[in-house]
Amino acid sequence: MPAAVVEWVSRHVGDAAEAVFIGGNGFRCAAAIEALEELLGRPVLESNQVLLWAVLDAVEAPLEIQGYGRLFGPR
Q: What would the pLDDT profile of 10-56 be if each residue is shown by its tens digit? A: 999 999 999 999 987 677 788 999 999 999 999 999 998 999 999 99
Task: Count up the domains in the chain and report the number.
Answer: 1
Amino acid at 15: D
Strand partners, 67: none
Residue 64 in this model has a pLDDT that exceeds 90? no
Model pLDDT, residue 66: 87
Model pLDDT, residue 43: 96
Strand partners, 45: 21
Distance of CA 16 to the CA centre of its chain: 18
- pTM for the model stands at 0.85
Query: What's the domain range around 50?
Result: 2-72
What does the alpha-carbon distance between residue 41 and residue 18 come to, in Å, rounded to a whole number? 9
Residue 9 in this model has a pLDDT that exceeds 90? yes
Model pLDDT, residue 35: 94
Amino acid at 45: L
